[in-house]
Amino acid sequence: MNLLVEKSKQKEGKSGSQKRRLLFPAAVAAVYVVLYIAMPDKTILALRSSCSIVSNIVLPLILVFVVMILMNLFLNPAQTARLIGKKSGIRGKLLPAVAGVISAGPIYAWYPLLRDIKSKGSGNSPLAIFLYNRSIKPYLLPAMVGYFGMVYVIILTVCMLLGSFVVGYAIDYLTDDG
């Protein structure tokens, strides 16, 4: 009997969180409807811009999906904890920094993978370091040099790398992972 009550409570909790998850996209959709009534041309432009974003993230999403399957197959929580867990030391900071730099595509494509890594036992700091280092994009550096010059770009890149570790250690400290 108790088990039944517990299970039904769990179901209620699940459907509640599903509803909460839908709240944000529903609110944005509602804004679209209102804006479409007031400014249909611009709203269609916004929708087109969203569609072009979708076409841009298809490839990164496929990449992330494949990485997730491989991680589910080959990486268990023990290995994750050893690589980037709370007590993984300097390796646990450098590994996500490199991963952040080489990762491609918009950040929201990477959230499912990051959540998966977290559920496998990663600390908070590697996730923060990964996210911060996404600001360093080697393939975009030539474009940046064109706008701001080589010296500025090198210094900014080094500062961003160092900044990522500051954020990582601060997150560790503030979330009691340290």
Partner 1 sequence: MKIAISSDGEELDSRVSRKLGTSRYLIILDLESGDFEVVSNPGASGQQGAGIQVVMLAVSRGVSTIVTGYCSPAIKERLMSNGIEVLSGVESTVRGVLEKYRRGELKFGIHEEGVAGVKKIKIDRSTFARSIRGAVRQFVSLLPMMVGVILLTGLFNAFIPKGWLTAIFSGNPLLDTLYGACFGSIIAGNPINSYVLGGELLQNGVSLFAVTAFILTWVTVGMVQLPAEIAALGRKFALLRNGLSFLLSVPVAVVTVLITNLIVG
Among the listed residues 63, 82, 94, 95, the single contact to partner 1 using CB under 8 A? 82
DSSP 3-state of 90: coil
What distances in angstroms separate CA 12 from CA 9, 20, 24, 25, one per listed residue?
Answer: 5, 12, 20, 21
Q: Could you say which residues in the range 54-73 bind partner 1, by CB under 8 A?
A: 54, 56-57, 65, 68-69, 72-73
DSSP labels for 122-170?
Answer: --HHHHHHHHHHTT--GGGHHHHHHHH-HHHHHHHHHHHHHHHHHHHHH
Q: Contact with partner 1 (CB under 8 A): which of 12, 40, 50, 59?
A: 50
Query: Of how many residues is the chain composed?
Result: 178
For residues 14-33, which are near partner 1 according to CB under 8 A? 21-22, 24-25, 27-29, 31-32
Least Å distance, CB 136 to partner 1, is 9
Q: Which of 58, 36, 37, 54 is nearest to 45 (CA)?
A: 36
Work out whether 101 is an interface residue with partner 1 (CB under 8 A). no
Which residue's CB is nearer to partner 1, number 95 or number 169? 169
Phi, psi at 39, each rounded to 5°:
-135, 80
**What is the footprint of partner 1 within residues 119-158 (CB under 8 A)?**
121, 124, 127-128, 131-132, 134-135, 137, 140, 143-144, 147-149, 151-152, 155-156
By beta-carbon proximity to partner 1, the closer residue of 36 and 95 is 36
